[in-house]
Amino acid sequence: MVEEIKAHITGVVFQITTKPGDRIAAGDAVIVLESMKMEIPVEAPRAGAIKEIRVREGQTVQEGDVVAVLE
């Protein structure tokens, strides 16, 4: 099952902590956003493998934007 992981807030991509192929557990940080001087992880909603990372470091993302795809 493929699932999109969306940003839950507006921010700048601070760090990409996973790469395609990585197996992750529910709650693991997929990327870290920075908003207003706070680092906020975007977490995997369930366990799975990263299929795709859709953002790059330094990019601004809006709330609801897809940042990665889980399979």
65 binds other proteins (CB under 8 A): no
> According to CB under 8 A, which one of 26, 38, 47, 66 is a site residue for other proteins?
38
> According to CB under 8 A, which one of 3, 4, 22, 34 is a site residue for other proteins?
34
> According to CB under 8 A, which one of 10, 41, 54, 65 is a site residue for other proteins?
10
DSSP element (H, E) containing 12: strand 11-16
Task: Give the alpha-carbon dihedral of 33, 44, 64, 55, to 10 degrees.
Answer: 50
Question: What DSSP string describes 17-32?
Answer: ---TT-EE-TT-EEEE
Binding positions for other proteins, rule: CB under 8 A: 8-12, 34-38, 40, 60
